[in-house]
Structure 1
Amino acid sequence: MQFKNALYLIPLTLCFINCSTPKEVVMAKPVAPVAKFTSFKDSVSYAMGASTAKQFKGMFGKSQDSIFNLKQYENGLKEGLNDTLALSENEIRDIMGRFQAELRSLKEIQREAVEVKNKKEETDFLTLNKTKEGITATESGLQYKVLKEGSGVVPGASDKVEVHYEGRLLDGTVFDSSYKRGEPIVLGVGQVIKGWTEALQLMKVGSKYQLYIPAELAYGVSGAGEDIPPYVMLIFDVELLGIK
């Protein structure tokens, strides 16, 4: 993410204007305001502010109040538009360079805090879970429970298998489910997260296991998209339907 031009952030709203459209044509078309505003100019102005706020929240998260002063942002915007800036271009570049460094430091602190929190939750859960009846723990740290034992062949690392599954976070949030889609999937045993690769080679066709997968055997530091945060362990119900 680049912040060197953050002072001049242009709200995403402007991206909806086709740059190839002549300015006079755009301005010549009267447009009705949104009901909450008295003019379309007011509607657009508010939408641009809201769009900018969304960008800032995405960059700063919950730390925005500690590193962002709305009043001074307003001053910079007004004085920039009026060509009465209190800072020179060089000063602005220097400040934004320092800001980038501080933001990187803040992000690292936040990352470490999330890692500590999630690792503790994982350790607490797995420590208690392995004492429960029916839970098996492997040397890698994977834990599983046999919900249904099959009688078919056990797949190898190079096999492709057909499975039904549901994945959840520790709080019970379902982030993916072939059951909900109503269709199993075919995947390579050696082409999935480590916890799945290990577990599938323990299962006979027809089996259904509940897997408790530590973060290091799942998506680790990276997480996966918006649904799976970094450093989180995952719980899966996996049903091995067949080997392809």
Structure 2
Amino acid sequence: MKRTLPLIAAFVALLGLSACGGGASGTIVGVSVSSPATLSKIDTVPGTGAAAAVGSKITVNYTGWLYNSAASDFKGAKFDSNSAMTFTLASGSLIEGWVQGIPGMKVGGKRTLLIPSSLGYGASGSGASIPPNSGLVFDIELTAVN
């Protein structure tokens, strides 16, 4: 009986530790979450055509990455890419970083947006590829203003 009691106590202690999750912070294992402090717009190719404005229907090609402060170009894991995507540039249907970051671009232009989490998907993240509180980087090419 003297041996059984310490074994039961050790088992209960281990069970309690495993149930609490070991103190994990709720982040996805292996993914470092970082975010720029403010929205940055970097025009890599100035366009010469019509300018995009909030409310206009536009067509873009884009690629999106998680923001990585340790990378020289701030591009971490790629999570999305699309060509010839047409939409109305308006709040409610897009992340706010696009609504604030695309206006003023001209057709033929290419722009990189560094988007803080608060103007992206925020505390909720998006699916398995965008963890909560992640900053985002998008390379966007404006191909049409309709």
Give yes or no for TM over 0.5. Answer: yes
Partner of 1:146: 43
Partner of 2:7: none
Distance 1:162 1:65 in 2: 52
- Residue in structure 2 matching 1:208, options 107, 110, 113: 110
- Residue in structure 1 matching 2:127, options 225, 229, 232: 225
Distance 1:159 1:65 in 2: 55
1:242 is aligned to 2:128: no
Partner of 2:25: 110
Partner of 1:66: 18
Contact 2:53 2:104 in 1 (8 A): no
Structure 2 length normalisation: TM-score?
Answer: 0.71
Residue identity opposite 2:78 in structure 1 = V
C-alpha RMSD of the superposition: 2.7
What is the CA distance between 1:202 and its match in structure 2? Answer: 2.4
Partner of 1:175: 79
Partner of 2:13: none
Residue identity opposite 2:111 in structure 1 = Y
- Residue in structure 2 matching 1:188, options 75, 88, 92: 88
Q: How many residues align?
A: 119
Q: Looking at CA atoms only, which structure, 1 or 2, has the larger radius of gyration?
A: 1
What is the CA distance between 1:226 and its match in structure 2? Answer: 0.8
Partner of 1:157: 54
Q: For residues 101-140 of structure 1, what are the structure 2 equivalents within 5 Å? A: 110-111=25-26, 118=33, 121-122=34-35, 126=36
Give the structure with the larger helix fraction.
1
Contact 2:114 2:136 in 1 (8 A): yes
Gap runs ≥5 in structure 1: 1-63, 68-101, 128-140
Distance 1:228 1:239 in 2: 22
Residue identity opposite 2:40 in structure 1 = Q
Distance 1:210 1:238 in 2: 6
Query: What are the Cα deviations for residues 112-153 of structure 1, in whole angstroms up to 9, with x where unaligned?
Result: x78xx73xx32xxx47xxxxxxxxxxxxx2102111000122
Distance 1:205 1:65 in 2: 58
4+ long deviations beyond 2 Å: none
Structure 1 length normalisation: TM-score?
Answer: 0.44
RCO comparison, higher one (Cα < 8 Å, 6+)? 2
Residue identity over aligned pairs, in percent, reads 32
Gap runs ≥5 in structure 2: 1-15, 69-75
Residue identity opposite 1:159 in structure 2 = S
Distance 2:17 2:140 in 1: 44
